[in-house]
A = this chain, B = another copy of it.
Amino acid sequence: MKNLHLQIEINPELYSKNPDSSELGRKVISKSIELIDEMGFEVFTFKKLSLAIKSPESSIYRYFESKHALLVYLTSWYWTWTEYRLVFAMSNVESPEERLKKALEILTQPVTIDNSISYVNEVLLSEIVFSESLKSYHTTKVDDENKRGAFNSYKATVRRVSEIVLEVSPTCQQPHMLISTVIEGAHQQKYFAEHLPSLTDVTNEKNSITTFYTDLVFRFLKT
């Protein structure tokens, strides 16, 4: 990983014009990540983005047909990138238990170090995914967007980690439920810790969310 410059390819169904193909497109991505992280997806508008990048709103619409399409693009980017992180972290780790443990770390912790030299700030992007990705699939158009492949990279990630679960415990009947519960749970617990702390038991100590979900998974798999 590190400074290895890997190319994240996004399903063309998820944009009108590839933002990676022009300067304005890249500005749209990097500035929208900043703004959404800063003010939240609801408050974020293309109008505000257009002011921030000093380009008219209509130019943004050439890349994304809606602000929702932009969120879907961003989360899709994140999960594609996370698949690479998983593959990299798994390489040279023999023990399935160790592999699963490492995978759970990647899934339950927001990114803290931005190694990228690209226009995507992965630290902020992971914050967005943790707090806003729910909104990417929780709409009336899910089924349509799902058909167009909007959630392929998320589903692929869940599938990949589920396979590790099966290596650890071949008799596990619900590996997908387990992993999607862990991912979504970790996102929510972080949010609860910040806003509704009585719904969690998050402590001062670092990584209490990762610890909890790692315990949860391994105790579930231990028969």
- A residues with a Cβ closer than 8 A to B are 39-40, 42-43, 134-135, 137-140, 142-143, 146, 151, 154-155, 158-159, 173-178, 180-181, 184-185, 188-189, 191-192, 195-196, 198-202, 208-209, 212, 215-216, 219-220, 222
Sample of 11 A–B contacts (CB below 8 Å): A39-B140, A42-B140, A134-B134, A137-B196, A142-B196, A151-B196, A158-B199, A173-B201, A175-B201, A177-B189, A185-B185
Residues on the B chain within 8 Å of A139, using CB: 42
Q: How far, in angstroms, from A151 to B192 measured CA to CA in the complex?
A: 12
Q: How far, in angstroms, from A217 to B189 measured CA to CA in the complex?
A: 17
B159 with A191: CB separation less than 8 A: no
A142 with B195: CB separation less than 8 A: yes
B212 with A177: CB separation less than 8 A: yes
Closest Cβ–Cβ distance, residue A8 to chain B (whole Å): 22
